[in-house]
Chains A and B, each alone.
Chain A
Amino acid sequence: MIRLLDVDRVFEVGEEPVYALKAVTLSMTAGTYASVMGPSGSGKSTLLNIIGLLDRPSRGKYLLEDVDTTHLSDDEQARVRREKIGFVFQFFHLVPRLTAAENIELPLILAGVNAGERKDRVREALTSLGIRGRSRHRPDQLSGGQRQRVAIARAVVMRPRIILADEPTGNLDRASGNEVIEILEELNRTGISLILVTHDPALGDRASRKIIMEDGEIVSDTLKN
């Protein structure tokens, strides 16, 4: 369902072209649980951004569910992002003035869903993540683990096909980090593809597919049996 064909992502730094991604070819089937590891600046996040359609390849093709996304307009890409992809960030990126429920509601609002249906789906997401009692709290009234749960609820409320998590436990203590990973793995078991960028080898090893990057290239791609 995800197919990257010979993808480059080049940044111009002064006169020098810098390859964030170099000839990356990769394919993943639906329901994959993959971890992406590698040192800082190895291109992990760039790979994630390209898969999430936040960034475009400088060269090569990216097919998402057999549709070539490289030629989609910005607005079409925004629609794909909205409908098929959920992001989870290291810094949660919750809107500070909105309550947990309102943060989760945001993608539904952007998609133009009716207020009544929004309410039901937000409640559903809150319940399934066990933060129902926190729905009226603002982010600064929540613990790190709770914040990340709200962020995950926001990522899944549109029922995406893929969850892209960039260091989702990077800002959490081990216990809440583990809880968050378990939630993500639980979602993966329902058939949502999960791609996890991490520094933590222990986390990386839990994934069924482990991709290691260095200098913009995939140096290792192993499947757990």
Chain B
Amino acid sequence: MKPEDTVRFGMRALFGYPARTLLVLLAMAMGVASVILLTALGEGARRYVAQEFTSLGTHLLFVLPGRSETVGGPPPLLASTPRDLTLEDAMALTRIPSVERVAPVSVGAAPVSWRERHREVTLLGSTAALFEIRQLAMSQGSFLPAGDPFRGEGIAVLGHKVKRELFGNRNALGEWIRIQDRRFRVIGVMTPKGQSLGMDMSDTAVIPVASALSLFDTESLFRIILQAKSRQTVDRVKDSVIKVIRERHEGEDDITVITQDAILSTFDRILSTMTLTVTGIAAVSLVVAGILIMNVMLISVSQRRTEIGLLKALGARSAQILRLFLTEASVLSMAGAGIGVAIGYAGAWVLAGMFPAFPLQVPLWSLAAAVLTALVNGLIFGVIPARRASYLDPVQALAKR
């Protein structure tokens, strides 16, 4: 029997029972489509996070007060309060050779008002360096000017949303606003850059770090953001930062330095694991589809007993019968996989249209894995029915009903 005839015979048999064939195709297609869609979503999430991190700025290091390290032994009775991270510390870091910029950051909430309007706003105290580091952009006016960071000038840069809520469509530049009990002059408004990792810049007001520290009446910075000159120098900068701060803090390592790459790779690991997990769950539906194929083929074999007996009487070898039914099962699973791929891509396309910001993409490995699993599945679950068919005794199969 020629291979093309075997395939044709199998196709004819599948078309002979359209309802059954359609059901199996549907099950297989859903399985493959869900694998493709779920991996596309997982992969999209991973890319989205990576994208967000680059929008945060490149080769950054974050210096936080306090040591976040698990050490053995009993916890200290009174938690030794870490030394404050001060503006002087931040300025000391600017002297490290490979450091491009340093932005000290102080964060707090304060009531902001203009005429009768009041609003609680997140205040960011920082320096001119923040502009480059966070890759901000201005829609009006200018950002904090470079200058002595210890001088607490009464100037403020408003986020897009804050400006709109306080001033509406009116001009804000040059206006005096009140933050707590002090007066600040608005020197710029930022573009609606949007959310970056939980911090909505449009919902903040930026003031000089020295003003913020005195407003909050503290010496302690929230964190220091450093930008290294290049990706290669990030690790060296990290070591230098720890050394510089240790010298300034009487030999104690009481800060934590996190590099952007470390955060990114952590997220990457988490999201990759998540993608694999959902793929695994989706793959279960492929196995279910395989079992359905087995079921349907078993029914097919028992319904077509006389046909099988006849084929044997006409001189078909057992191996030929086996091949016929295996071909049927694999044609079924292949067609199902094909339809599933189409549905999966269509779904990804629709989702991409609905959420343009989300970089949805079907990874090639998942496409290959889904189609391959479908095929192997069809063959494995096709073996039992096909063997049953090939072992059928023709005399009994053809016996009068």
Contact = CB atoms under 8 A, between A and B. Distances in A.
Interface string A103-119: 00011011110000000
Given A97-B12, A110-B316, 17 more contacts: A52-B313, A54-B312, A54-B394, A54-B395, A55-B395, A75-B317, A79-B315, A83-B315, A87-B313, A91-B400, A93-B306, A93-B313, A97-B15, A109-B1, A111-B1, A111-B315, A154-B314
A87 B394 CA distance: 12
Contacts of B320: 110
Interface residues of A, number: 30
B314 A82 contact: yes
A62 interface: no
Q: 9 shortest A-B CB distances, which residue pairs?
A: A82-B315, A97-B16, A81-B315, A107-B314, A78-B317, A93-B310, A109-B5, A75-B317, A87-B313
Interface of A: 49, 52, 54-55, 74-75, 78-83, 87, 89-91, 93, 95-98, 102, 106-107, 109-112, 154, 158
Interface in B8-31: 9, 12-13, 15-16
5 contacts: A49-B395, A79-B317, A97-B13, A102-B12, A111-B1
B151 interface: no
A205 B199 CA distance: 102
B395 A110 contact: no
Contacts of B307: 93, 95
B115 interface: no
B338 to A, nearest CB: 23
Contact of A109 (B9, B394, B401): B9
Contacts of B313: 52, 54, 81, 87, 93
Interface in B302-338: 306-307, 309-320
Contacts of B310: 93, 95
Interface residues of B, number: 27
A78 B315 contact: yes
A49 B400 CA distance: 13
Contacts of A158: 315
A80 B311 CA distance: 14
A61 B122 CA distance: 101
A24 B351 CA distance: 76
Q: Which of B13, B15, B16, B313 has the most CB of A within 10 A?
A: B313
B311 A112 contact: no
Contacts of B316: 78, 82, 110
Interface in B278-297: none
A90 B306 CA distance: 13
B2 interface: yes
A106 B312 CA distance: 11
B2 A107 contact: no
B275 to A, nearest CB: 44
A87 B395 CA distance: 12
B398 interface: yes
B300 to A, nearest CB: 12
B398 A93 contact: yes
A95 B12 CA distance: 11
B393 to A, nearest CB: 9
A111 B15 CA distance: 24
B181 to A, nearest CB: 90
A178 B359 CA distance: 76
A158 B314 CA distance: 10
A78 B13 contact: no
A28 to B, nearest CB: 20
A75 B315 CA distance: 9
A111 B315 CA distance: 8
B388 to A, nearest CB: 16
Contact of A91 (B315, B319, B395, B401): B401
Contacts of B315: 78-83, 107, 110-111, 158
A78 B9 contact: no
Give the one of A75, A97, A107, A112 with max B CB within 10 A: A97
Contacts of B309: 93
A95 B395 CA distance: 17
Residue among B307, B315, B394 with the highest chain A CB neighbour number at 10 A: B315
Contacts of A82: 314-316
